[in-house]
Amino acid sequence: MDDMTSVTADDLARAREEFFSERANVVAKNAVSSVGVRAAARVPEGVAANAMTFDVEVSQGERCDQQRSGRCWMFASLNTMRYRVIKKYGLKSFELSQAYPLFWDKLEKSNWFFENILDTLDEPLSGRLVAYLLSDPVGDGGQWDMFKSLVKKYGVCPKEAMPETACSRNTSELHAYLTRYLRGAAKRLRQSHEAGVGRDELEEMKKEMMGDVYRLLVTCLGEPPASFEVRLRDKDDNLALSGTFTPLEFFSEAVGMNVDDYVSLISAPTADKPFGHTYTVSRLGNVVEDGGVRYLNLPIERLKDAAIAQLRDDLPVWFGCDVGQSFIREEGIMDTAALDVDGLFGFEVEGCMDRAERLDYGESLMTHAMVLEGVNLDADGRPTLWKVENSWGKDHGRNGFDTLSDPWFDEYVYQVVVDKKYLSDDERATYEGEDPTVLAPWDPMGSLARVR
């Protein structure tokens, strides 16, 4: 046995002696084995710094709940839009249908998947690209630009016009069966190509397959409404809006948001993504004719500046983050000072990599999308604490809200969506005019918000 490459009895004896010679290790062992790592690492003084009072704040209606689905990016997008409806018509609360964009996203992602399969027919099945395409062709996750594409094509509707179903509240069965069908369809397309079937016939096969996808989606989610009746009453029970609308008409009339004005800012301080440039991700999107995603990479302080400016103008901010990091979920607290994991273990675990290194080494990426609705500012006007509307229902956190400390923002917020008017002239010119660098499909900036 090679003592340098194997774990030896002497190694284990030394490790055990070092562990039990320290009282703190024994206390940590007893605490963690009883209540878990995060509960044992909880710092009450850090938790106490997360009070729910804010200098700048917007107010929504009742909290929404994505339940057992990965639709956080849809809920966040719709929550920024419903705010406009609530404000415009003086409503107590209001909710847009989340099942409606789910239907169209699954349909468009299926078409996007088929087009990618047809584009990679000569790629090896065992290669990284095809394996990636097959890994999760129609998952719940998404990006702001993908939601923008859905809204531009299909509009929105009130929740009553297309309510939740068993398969939208819990998407696991829908996801499993649709994914299985798509993989089987990809097999048929590739085998037909290998047998010499031409492109025109393959496209016809794809059209038939999309008919099957539509049938599956209607079975699980119901048929999306072509039009619907609307009766909105304000806080005083006065009729504020009524009539018959198509989803596109309702979006134009009730929401009135120019989604093309809203741009995705990311902050990825890695060597391969210099700040001040635009990026896109190969093979990432849903609506084929609208293209994929587009980001402008900026230092994290610029994301904060833009978010604060939009909040000051009484508009919420869509953002994406790595929600699982330094998060006390039950209390709704995202704060690096509220958990001392490194102190608990006695060596660097959370502190062993910086932001760029976590991205490079696969430790962190965007996992969840929520809405910034408030911020506290210090004497110099810099943020200290952010108010977050989550989509996990009113029983989560504090009446459905979380807090996010500014140091946590520095470490784990990766994306904000703001009106491009909050960019500098140079930033706006770069976003609109520069040809974006194309990132690999598996780049961390291609991650989709999907946490349940």
- Any residues with CB less than 8 A from the CB of 374 and at least 6 apart, and which? 54, 55, 56, 57, 58, 311, 386, 387
Q: Tens of pLDDT along the chain (452 residues)?
A: 577 899 999 999 999 999 999 999 999 999 999 999 999 999 999 999 999 999 999 988 899 999 999 999 999 999 999 999 999 999 999 999 999 999 999 999 999 999 999 999 999 999 999 999 999 999 999 999 999 999 999 999 999 999 999 999 999 999 999 999 999 999 999 999 999 999 999 999 999 999 999 999 999 999 999 999 999 999 999 999 999 999 999 999 999 999 999 999 999 999 999 999 999 999 999 999 999 999 999 999 999 999 999 999 999 999 999 999 999 999 999 999 999 999 999 999 999 999 999 999 999 999 999 999 999 999 999 999 999 999 999 999 999 999 999 999 999 999 999 999 999 999 999 999 999 999 999 999 999 998 87
Record the pTM.
0.96
Q: How many CA within 13 A on the CB side of residue 263? A: 25
What residues are labeled active site? 72, 368, 390
DSSP 8-state symbol, 251: I
Q: In terms of Cα–Cα distance, which of 244, 224, 241 is closest to 88?
A: 241
Closest of 28, 88, 11 to residue 253, by C-alpha: 88
Torsion of Cα atoms, 92 then 309 then 383 then 90, to 10°: -10
CATH of 56-446, one of 3.30.1330.30, 1.10.357.10, 3.50.50.60, 3.90.70.10: 3.90.70.10
Q: What are the extents of the domains in the chain?
A: 9-41, 56-446
